[in-house]
Amino acid sequence: MGLKQIDHGTEAYQQMVQLRHQILRAPLGLQFTPEELMAEKEEILIAAFDDDDIMGCCMLSPVNDTTVRLRQMAVLDQVQGTGIGASIMTFAENIARDKGFAKMMMHARATAVGFYEKFGYKVIGAEFSEVQLPHFMMEKLL
């Protein structure tokens, strides 16, 4: 399995959108809008590939000069629990550090809080709702 940064609008990006739809949106009956996807031109797009097949992904969005937000973390159903999410987290944190960010934060689904805790992220503040699901804000100094 290889980890890489991918470019918006490429074949790899199309695979990433399909994976995110399948794992994060379709189960909720939601779809990405063209405007949402167009806005991702400015994001740092990260994916894990097994040969030509995408296994997992995430995105990094700068919040300000020091903080970056991790978004859209998803691993293909069949290979969840096999270490791919952990590899993506380590890769994403290294990229964030290389780009000079001092803090990483995310809106974590309540069901994923335990995953982020494994990497030292702490819950900040109260539960809130996003895409109809309970979430917590989490953060860590890189």
Ligand X SMILES: CC(C)(COP(=O)(O)OP(=O)(O)OC[C@H]1O[C@@H](n2cnc3c(N)ncnc32)[C@H](O)[C@@H]1OP(=O)(O)O)[C@@H](O)C(=O)NCCC(=O)NCCS
Report the residue number whose CB is nearest to ligand X: 85
- Cα(129)–Cα(109) distance, integer angstroms: 9
Long-range CB contacts (< 8 A, 24+ apart) of 27-36? 28/131, 28/132, 28/133, 30/131
Site string for ligand X, 32-71 (x = CB under 6 A): ----------------------------------------
Among 25, 43, 49, 115, binds ligand X (CB under 6 A): 115
Interface with ligand X includes 118 (CB under 6 A)? yes
Smallest distance, Å, CB 11 to ligand X?
A: 22
Residue among 23, 21, 15 at smallest CA distance from 46: 15
Stretch that binds ligand X, among 14-22, 29-37, 81-89, 96-104 (CB under 6 A): 81-89
Tell me which residue of 80, 70, 74, 137 sits closest to 110, measured CA to CA: 137
The whole-angstrom separation of Cα 25 and Cα 29 is 6
Are residues 75 and 56 in contact, defined by beta-carbon separation less than 8 angstroms? yes
Closer to ligand X by CB, 9 or 112: give it: 112
Looking at 12, 59, 74, 92, which residue binds ligand X (CB under 6 A)? 74
Q: Rounded to an integer, what distance in angstroms lies between the CA atom of residue 72 and that of residue 67? A: 17
Which residue of 86, 102, 110, 131 would you call a contact of ligand X, by CB under 6 A?
86
Q: Which of 16, 73, 92, 138 binds ligand X (CB under 6 A)?
A: 73
Residues that bind ligand X (CB under 6 A): 23-24, 73-75, 80-86, 108-109, 111-112, 114-115, 118
